[in-house]
Structure 1
Amino acid sequence: MGTHIEAACARVGNGGRKATARRLADDAARACLTLAGCRPADVDMLINVGVYREDSMGEPALAALIQEDIGANRGQPPDGGGRGRSGTFSFDLLNGACGVITAIQVESGLLRAGAIRLGTVVSSDVPPDLAGPGAPFLRPAGGAILLRWDDSPAGFTDFCTLTFPEYEDLFTSGLEWRERRGIRGPREGTGHNRMVVIVKPGYLARLVDCAEEATRRFLRRLGLGVEDIDLLVPAPSVPDFVDPLRARLAVPGDRVAYTPEDLEGSHTTGPIAALQAAIKSGRLGEARNTLLLAAGAGITVALALYRQEPERRVTDLSR
């Protein structure tokens, strides 16, 4: 038994409107619900995993705002028994590039327990107000995935998250307060926050090392080998990450779901973008064992195993 993917959707910012983290998440969530033929009122839990926002905003929490925007239920969260089922429970969960997989694991536990019947994970990032010309470019993108419990053997069945704290200083980001200098106007504040992102040399190499080690340890715990994985779905955490990892794991290129070019550079949306590529190609529905992988600052590596029955099909986003 496992958590089944009802639909997944990832998209880049629309050039005709200002890309905001809230709007990108809203659009992706609505599109995902439409693809699955579900109503916003059907969603019992909504988790937002987006990290970077316009103007480097840290508050308010976006999940409740997204819940309201898409028309999900207000009121008390569901009780799991079908009585008094009137509210959608929503909250933010921040775990960087690994946030989507962490949120799927959280919702899987509640789906398994019967506390919720339909859950969604939404993500979005836009370039913040960065301090320093060396900061990496971040593509505005949003994503959403719908999850439902399935009594068949198909679905997400196993998860693993490993952190390698010895490399935590290779990628750091945070807000820095800067006082406004000189004479201020009557409506000008005393200063503003700017996002500082520092990526040290060697980050990519260590990211690949840690992802390989975590993958082998996870599969070994499950009694599987790399040869048992029919499809590798890696989130493109940083440029040039996927191919070195594929080579280190000795996974043939035709067993890798590559994220399309327009979604490369997405951050928290990366795992959803990779899953969308796997669904659109039809390979997720054909694979018995699919490994979803994300790696980012920490260094943290998150993995999830998705078992797929040959006759079970996931929503085809190409239609």
Structure 2
Amino acid sequence: MITTGTAGAGRAPAGIAIRGTGSCLPSHVVGNDEVAAAAGVSDEWIRGKTGIRARRRAKADEATSDLAAAAGRAAMESAGVTAADLSLIVVATSTPDQPQPPTASVVADLLGAGHGAAAFDVNTVCSGFVFALNAAEHILAGSGSSYALVIGADIYSRILDPADRRTAILFGDGAGAVVLGPARGGRGLLAGRLAGFGAERDLIEVAAGGSRLPASAETLAAGRHYFTMNGRGVRDFVAATVAPAIGDFVREAGFGPGDVDHFVPHQANGRMLEELSATLGIAAGRTRVTYEDFGNTGAASVPVTLDHAARSGRMRDGDLVLLAGFGGGMALGLSLLRWQAPRPSHRTPHV
């Protein structure tokens, strides 16, 4: 476990803040009826189990880098920076364009930052964005560089078994991004915590396609390239491990549940989030959600939801924001920050 910052109520941030946000959701909307038949369920069943009404699907010729670059452009516009201002680009994804090179290198080139800006990927599945955010903040703080672009992007539609009701109904495609840069008085990232639980790594996996089980005709025929998830095991993990860890993190930072103005969790499942918020004692009205319209967008879900909350006008300068990413690995990433209101120019591009 890695814990950074001591955030107490009187502590000033280390000097790094979110300066702008952006997101990109594909224009193709897939309603529950479209996924229900193949999965052997109904729209009513999906809504009752997950709260999801729809999700987005990328076009056949779109890759993760395309969504990531579009979200990055929106975040850069929001922050008022250009590609020349970026010293670092980090992309959190578990659905990269290809095994090599890093998707972040492709994104850097698409954004016009392909010469000079350091670029790398982070794969801690659905918690990836918060891991990437913590890493980028420390790199900026330690290097004296000014701006970093942190993106969470996934196209899960490429790795789902349409007949698997545990996964096919949940996931959508999308990307979300933030620009990190200098904080102003009393604003910025206060504390972070990263933790791994490798003993439970088999709860979520894609078995084939790596060095242990290379892709072959046999693995394809057996469906080993599909994303699989033990839904009950994940729910138990969230209840037994994630919820207590979040509560401890907030308390150790010197705050209580009532101090959190905006709780932005991974959009795993609507019913799971209702239980999590209730357990933490965070009012439903302070939990920011997008799962109803976008489903679970993997590493994109936290930054997409953060961007939509920012654009909604709900988030005010100085608000206390709690980010929580959790998922495959198993892994947990947490960040606590004082919101620094960006410029009002926000947009969500559709591709």
TM over 0.5: yes
In structure 2, runs of 5+ residues without a counterpart are 1-12, 29-57
Equivalent position of 1:306 in the other structure: 337
| Paired amino acid for 1:103 | A
Counterpart for residue 176 of structure 2? 143
Q: TM-score, normalised by structure 1?
A: 0.82
Give, in whole Å, the separation in 2 of the partners of 1:317 and 1:236. Answer: 25
> Do the aligned residues in 1 keep the contact of 2:321 with 2:337 (CA within 8 Å)?
yes
User: What are structure 1's unaligned runs of at least 5 residues?
Assistant: 75-86, 182-189
**Whole-Å separation in 2 of the counterparts to 1:193 and 1:88:** 38
Name 2:92's counterpart in structure 1: 49
Going from structure 1 to structure 2, the CA distance change for 1:179 and 1:303 (only over 3 Å counts) comes to closer
Matches within 5 A, 1:84-233: 87-126=116-155, 127-130=157-160, 133-134=163-164, 136-137=167-168, 138-176=171-209, 177=214, 179-180=216-217, 195-200=225-230, 201-233=232-264
Matches within 5 A, 1:44-83: 44-53=87-96, 57-74=98-115
Which has the larger helix fraction? 2
Q: Is the 8 A contact 1:279 1:315 kept in 2?
A: no
Query: Which residue of structure 1 lines up, in the alignment, with residue 53 of structure 2?
Result: none
**RMSD of aligned Cα (Å):** 2.7
Of the two, which has the highest radius of gyration?
1
**1:257 is paired with a residue of what secondary structure?**
coil
Structure 1 contact 49–123 (Cα < 8 Å) conserved: yes
1:96-138 Cα shifts (integer Å, max 9, x gaps): 1111111111111122224321000122211224468326133
Distance 2:222 2:344 in 1: 44
Structure 2: how far apart are the matches of 1:252 and 1:206? 22
Q: TM-score, structure 2 length as denominator?
A: 0.75
Q: Which amino acid letter does the alignment assign opposite residue 30 of structure 1? A: R
Counterparts of 2:187 and 2:18 in 1: how far apart (Å)? 10
Q: 1:147 to 1:179 in 2, by over 3 A?
A: closer
Structure 2 Cα separation of the partners of residues 53 and 13 of structure 1: 17
- CA 1:239–1:228 in structure 2 vs 1: closer, same or farther (change >3 Å)? closer
Kept in 2, the 8 Å contact 1:178–1:193? The answer is no
User: How many residue pairs were aligned?
Assistant: 294
* SS state at 2:226 partner: strand
Letter in 2 for 1:314: P
Deviations 1:208-230 (A, max 9, x none): 33221111221232222222222
Q: State which drifts further: 254-263 or 287-296.
A: 254-263
